[in-house]
Structure 1
């Protein structure tokens, strides 16, 4: 379990939470799974998971040797 406070500075809560999650994963030598994200008293785990999936899909699509038109 990790806890922190961050200023949003115009960013969405789930974007800040995803960056914190990425930082946590970098520090750990093993694979981890996101279980729950609570921000400002609201549970936003699914939003963070969806944002992470979107980023992964974008990375995977950017690495393709061909582009679809």
Structure 2
């Protein structure tokens, strides 16, 4: 099953990117988060996530939660104790 993900974000201007991905047993928000990470890798500057739509359903908060969790994991991995 494929899902169409649309990501709206603000970089130097407001931008939208859309793509279709196979789920292959993964959750929609995980696929959307990976798409968002791929977009951020291509940008030479910071960007701010505004809205994430998957099959016209707003999953912005789920993707932002995954982003926060990953940031916390990275910060906790560097602790010396």
TM-score by length of 1: 0.92
Identify the structure with bigger relative contact order (alpha carbons < 8 Å, sequence gap 6+): 2
Structure having the higher Rg: 1
TM-score by length of 2: 0.79
Question: What is the aligned length?
Answer: 66
Aligned: 1:14 with 2:18: no
Q: Which runs of 5+ in 1 are unaligned?
A: none
Aligned: 1:54 with 2:64: no
RMSD between superposed Cα atoms in Å: 0.6
Q: Which runs of 5+ in 2 are unaligned?
A: 1-15
Q: How far does residue 34 in structure 1 lie from its aligned partner after superposition?
A: 0.5
Structure with the higher strand share, 1 or 2: 2
